[in-house]
Amino acid sequence: MLDPQIIDELKSIVGERYVLTSPEDLVAYSYDATFTSARPNLIVLPDNTQEVSEILKVASRELIPVVPRGMGSGLAAGSIPFGGGMVLALTRMDRLLDVDLDNMMATAEAGIIASELADAVAREGYFYPPDTTSVHYSTLGGNVACNAGGARCLKYGITGHYVMALEVVLADGRIMRVGGKATKNVTGYDLVRLLVGSEGTLAIITEVTVRFIAAPEVERMAQAIFPKLTDAGKAINAVLASGANPSMVEIMDETAIKSVEEYLRIGLPLDVEAILLIQTDGDEADAVRGIEIAAEICRQNGAREVRVATTPEEGKEMWEARSAISGSLGRIRPNKLGEDITVPHSAVPEMIAKIKEISAKWDLPIVIFGHAGDGNLHPNILFDKRDPEESERVESAVGDLFRAAVEVGGSLSGEHGVGVLKRPYLEMAMGAVAVEMQRRIKQAWDPKNILNPGKILPTKGAK
Amino acid sequence: MTSDRVEAPVRTVGAVADELYLKCIRCGKCLSVCPVYRETRIETLSPRGKVALYRAVGEDDLEISEVYAGKFYTCLMCDACREACPSGVELDLILNKARTDLAYSGLMPESLRRLDETIIAAGNISGEDNEQRLGWTANLESMPIGLDHGGQAEAAYFVGCVSALFPASYSIPQSLVRVFERAGVNYALIGGDEHCCGYPLFLNGEGERALAMAHHNVEAVRDTGAARVVMSCPSCYHMWKHIYPELLDNGELDGLEIVHETEMLAELAKEGRLCFKPWPVTVTYHDSCDLGRKSGIFEAPRHVLRAIPELTLVEMADHHENSLCCGGGGNLETYDRELAQALPRRRLQQAQDAGAKYIVVSCQQCKRTLFGGARRERIRIRTMDLAEVVSEQLEGEADA
Ligand SMILES: Cc1cc2nc3c(=O)[nH]c(=O)nc-3n(C[C@H](O)[C@H](O)[C@H](O)COP(=O)(O)OP(=O)(O)OC[C@H]3O[C@@H](n4cnc5c(N)ncnc54)[C@H](O)[C@@H]3O)c2cc1C
Ligand code: SF4
Ligand code: SF4
């Protein structure tokens, strides 16, 4: 429990009702979208950057751990306060500050729901491409802190490619602005790039400026049904090598198909091993030509059926099936461990085969889906946390998954981040020198180690 | 039944409760549709937060308390979270079960308890003399034929407490009977024999106390001899259609058809019994939670609106199954007036963004809530019940 005097001091900064300490509140801020949880000592919900700065001054004086939190949709346990302390929830800071049509950039507070920013840009006729599946239930700040990706990043890149400027609050409470609206800028180290993906360990992000682009005229979606998973793997590479120029190539395997079909009942085939979802965009001629090329390649590579959406609604329905996978898995087993490995896209078929082997070896169902076009797969291990023996097998299977990914030239995380769940494997993926350099960066930014302590970097002495 | 209530906290354990919360994978999707979360942005008040609290109690990690109770009453019982949940978590059951546990533990807030006691004692939500239920007929041009149906009525009209007892809502039943009379529908009114349907009790976790009312109401309707009962209130409709069958003995509702105003109006329009004059305006239709998501009636009201010449019907960002609650549900208004009053703004904004000049509803509660919100926020948009629209647009009526 925290000193009541400190709680009063925090209340005087943000107001009585925005410092939460009831057992109910501690439960509600103990989790994210993973299966882990730990209760904080209190939750503070600031309204503006100045308040964040004041809060950090108190925290650094009193050495209180500060765990920033957006909407808690994270898949790396990044916002869970394992060592207790304060959850700093940024959800009240959700104002859209500016949509600058001349420079094609938008600025918002970090707690804005990502889709609200994208919608505001779309209302002006433009396009903000980062599209996490969780776009309606994650914050822009969380997207930046995790450098979130999405289906369209195959063609359009990830969140970090759009971030132009940030306002952050440092561990000691100082406010810093980095980046700007100039598209070229090599003045000093690129601190924007460093902060993107820093998972709340270097600073609290309070304001974000992103660029946006002209909207593609049309989008075309196709759904290809493959009796054989390996054929789908081949088709992915063939489509990428063709002139189709897809904006997304998504895969779902048979377990994913079953799970979604049970949820949505939209008539997905239950006797096949994989479905590919391919989207093209651009002007009408380009999009149509691209989707036709992709459809033809799928047919030549063993697709039993290829449906090309004729209306945007039909395309949306096809995407709905893909976006529902992750959420629908709770129907099969109570817990899931969703991984986020990335491999060179040519290695996708090989990686899928390896995942199947790991699933058989540890006798655990593993659902495979993800952004196959950029080699970012989400193997989800389904289990029941209440069974300790099963949970141990999950640990072993995760280790195997990571090793397999690194072996084929890939990495641990494409978009969800390291958090705590992947921490033990960081050195294996990056090497001891790179980990040591990051440790030094962390020390420079947060010498008292109060910002999201224990995240990303393996604690000294631990494995 | 009051004597059955135990004052010691009870815990919500057992296989059923377990099954209910285990499916939550904490993805957060329900946050994006919850009106309370969208307004407060506080996780403890979100659907995912409520499931976590319910689970913590079930797993002995949290004790139920007044604070715990407060989280569950800060809810519209609008079902948007259940509709959105990809994992199939039956949040409607969890939210109702939590309130039931709280009621039995003596932790229902005072304001809600008073509401329940009023309903039991007076037979209506306002506590007035139940014989006043026909107040809305007083200034009609002529006595409604429903009071003198001679046993020949095809439908009994169950008016509902709000429309019967709150003058601001009188124009809904007034309009509906006018439409019935113009279309030649022989209907029956039961006046003071109508009791509250019991839905507020159900929402407060005391559904069992609604049993006597259910018996009484069914009998009162049976006495008219009509084979159908029609409601303009979606909550009464949902109660009669989906909760009475669970409360009542087998057979008690047999042969009685339960319909909503919108269904009946759509039927009359289709049969050509309603002729409309042109109305060149842009309107949007607001699906209420009880009629839409909970009862699956989406198209009937839209059919009626499309039958009006020159009317343009537009949809708001959230519509049909994904409709956004106006803020009037779940007895939240009784529990936390300030929050309830903040909620209509987002819905009104959606209507404006859609370019609508009118929001058409088919619920007296949505009408009140949206009307009040528009006045407070100075948003220039009019709210009308479908019955009022139809009544005004009937061929031969003077222009409003
Ligand atoms: C169903 C589902 C689908 C998903 N799909 C995708 C996907 O397609 N692509 C993808 O990349 N991710 C996806 N995710 C993961 C998750 O939604 C993203 O990582 C998202 O960016 C997290 O945002 P949040 O606001 O929920 O952050 P939180 O979960 O609250 O926090 C995540 C991390 O960011 C830090 N953080 C949050 N806000 C700030 C801030 N203002 N300043 C500093 N640090 C901060 C936290 O400390 C934590 O380490 C998905 C998750 C789910 C449940
Ligand atoms: S949408 Fe369903 S599974 Fe996801 S957090 Fe809400 S209740 Fe849980
Ligand atoms: S019923 Fe409505 S108000 Fe209540 S938690 Fe669910 S979405 Fe929120």
Mean pLDDT (10-residue bins), chain B, 400 residues: 33 49 92 97 98 94 95 96 93 93 92 94 93 91 81 92 94 96 93 95 90 94 94 96 88 92 96 94 97 96 97 97 94 92 96 97 96 95 97 76
pLDDT digits (tens, 9 = 90+) for A162-184: 999 999 999 999 999 999 998 88
pLDDT digits (tens, 9 = 90+) for A146-158: 999 988 889 999 9
Could you tell me if B243 and B312 lie in one domain? no
CA neighbours within 13 Å on the CB side: how many for B193? 17
Could you tell me if B255 and B288 lie in one domain? no
CA neighbours within 13 Å on the CB side: how many for B71? 27
Could you tell me if B206 and B253 lie in one domain? yes
- At A460 the pLDDT is 56
Q: How many angstroms away from the CA of A442 is the closest CA of chain B?
A: 30
- How large is the greatest C-alpha to C-alpha distance in chain A, in angstroms? 71
- At B18 the pLDDT is 58
- At B13 the pLDDT is 33
- Using a CB-CB distance cutoff of 8 angstroms, which residues of chain A are in contact with residue B25? 33, 35, 327, 329-330, 335-336
Determine contact, residues A217/A133, Cβ cutoff 8 Å: no
Pocket test for ligand 1, best of A75, A144, A170 (most atoms within 8 A of CB): A75
Determine contact, residues A194/A441, Cβ cutoff 8 Å: yes
Q: Which residues of A70-98 are buried (b: 16+ CB within 10 A; e: fewer)?
A: bbbbbbbbbbbbbebbbbbbbbbbbebee
Q: Which tokens in the block code for residue B26?
A: 């904490």
Distance from C-alpha of A44 to C-alpha of A47, rounded to nearest angstrom = 10
Could you tell me if B145 and B260 lie in one domain? yes
Mutation target vs B (from A16, A19, A21, A27; most B CBs, 10 A cutoff) = A27
Establish if B247 belongs to a structural domain: yes
Indicate yes or no: CB of A331 within 8 angstroms of CB of B88: yes
- Which region among A6-15, A340-349, B67-76 has the lowest average model confidence (pLDDT)? A340-349
CATH 3.30.1360.120 fits A333-425, yes or no: no
Residue B72, phi then psi, degrees to nearest 5:
-80, -25
Mean pLDDT of A62-68: 97
Q: Which tokens in the block code for residue A306?
A: 């290829």
Could you tell me if B150 and B58 lie in one domain? no
Could you tell me if B100 and B153 lie in one domain? no
Nearest bound ligand to CA A71? 1
Q: Domain boundaries in chain A?
A: 4-89, 96-214, 218-326, 333-425
CB < 8 Å from A in window 56-75 of B: 56, 61-63, 65, 67-68, 71
Packing angle, helices B261-270 and B171-183, rounded to 10: 30
| Residue of chain A whose Cα is closest to the Cα of B64 | A24
Could you tell me if B96 and B167 lie in one domain? no
DSSP tag of A325: H
* Residue A221, helix vs strand vs coil: strand
Q: Does B270 touch chain A (CB under 8 A)?
A: no
Q: Which residues pair with A99 in a beta bridge?
A: A106
Q: How many domains does chain B have?
A: 3
CATH 3.30.465.10 fits A96-214, yes or no: yes
Could you tell me if B125 and B263 lie in one domain? yes
Q: Quick one: how far is CA A219 from the chain centroid? A: 23
Establish if B279 belongs to a structural domain: yes
Out of B24, B61, B86, name the one closest to residue A324 (CB). B86
3-state secondary structure A156-218: HCCHHHCEEEEEEECCCCCEEEEECCCCCCCCCCCHHHHHCCCCCCCCEEEEEEEECEECCCE
- Using a CB-CB distance cutoff of 8 angstroms, which residues of chain B are in contact with residue A19? none
Pocket test for ligand 3, best of B21, B24, B33, B34 (most atoms within 8 A of CB): B34
Establish if B200 belongs to a structural domain: yes
Distance from C-alpha of A317 to C-alpha of A223, rounded to nearest angstrom = 11
CATH 3.30.43.10 fits A4-89, yes or no: yes
Q: Which of A324-328, A340-344, B137-141 has the highest mean pLDDT?
A: A340-344
Q: Topology of domain A218-326, per CATH?
A: Alpha-Beta Plaits (3.30.70)
Distance from C-alpha of B341 to C-alpha of B334, rounded to nearest angstrom = 11
Determine contact, residues A456/A146, Cβ cutoff 8 Å: no
Does the fold of domain A333-425 match that of domain A96-214? Answer: no
Nearest CA to ligand 2 atom 6: B30
Determine contact, residues A372/A153, Cβ cutoff 8 Å: no
Closest CA to B290 of B32, B60, B80, B15: B80
Nearest CA to ligand 2 atom 8: B24
DSSP tag of B380: -
Closest CA to B291 of B341, B335, B329: B329
- Which region among A15-19, A309-313, B155-159 has the lowest average model confidence (pLDDT)? A309-313
Residue A184, phi then psi, degrees to nearest 5:
-110, 135
Helices (H), chain B: 15-22, 35-40, 47-58, 66-73, 80-84, 91-104, 110-122, 161-165, 171-183, 199-203, 211-224, 234-238, 244-247, 261-270, 299-306, 332-335, 337-342, 344-353, 364-377, 386-393
Instruction: Kindly report the CATH number assigned to the domain that includes residue B32.
Output: 1.10.1060.10
Q: Which residue has the tokens 């039991």?
A: B120
B75 lines ligand 3 (CB under 6 A): yes
3-state secondary structure A31-100: ECCCCCECCCCEEECCCCHHHHHHHHHHHHHHCCCEEEECCCCCCCCCCCCCCCCEEEECCCCCCEEEEE
Share above pLDDT 90 across residues of chain A, in percent, rounded to a whole number:
78
Output the CA A24–ligand 2 centroid distance in Å. 18
Closest CA to B362 of B248, B241, B264, B222: B264
With 0-12 / 13-18 / 19 or more C-beta atoms within 10 angstroms meaning exposed / middle / buried, residue A12 is exposed
User: Higher pLDDT residue, A404 or B249?
Assistant: A404
Out of B42, B62, B88, name the one closest to residue A27 (CB). B62
Indicate yes or no: CB of A89 within 8 angstroms of CB of B32: no
Interface predicted TM-score (ipTM) of this complex, two decimals:
0.91
At A459, the pLDDT band (50, 70, 90 cuts) reads low
Could you tell me if B63 and B141 lie in one domain? no
Instruction: Kindly report the CATH number assigned to the domain that includes residue B193.
Output: 3.40.50.1860
Establish if B12 belongs to a structural domain: no
Could you tell me if B99 and B133 lie in one domain? no
Establish if B5 belongs to a structural domain: no
Out of B27, B29, B44, name the one closest to residue A24 (CB). B44
Residue A169, phi-psi category: left (phi > 0), alpha (psi -120 to 50), beta (remainder): beta
- B217: containing domain: 121-267
Establish if B2 belongs to a structural domain: no
Establish if B373 belongs to a structural domain: yes
A72 lines ligand 1 (CB under 6 A): yes
pLDDT above 70: residue A1: no
User: Higher pLDDT residue, A230 or A94?
Assistant: A94
Could you tell me if B191 and B261 lie in one domain? yes
Establish if B7 belongs to a structural domain: no
Last residue of a domain, one of B218, B239, B267: B267
Distance from C-alpha of B180 to C-alpha of A160, rounded to nearest angstrom = 62
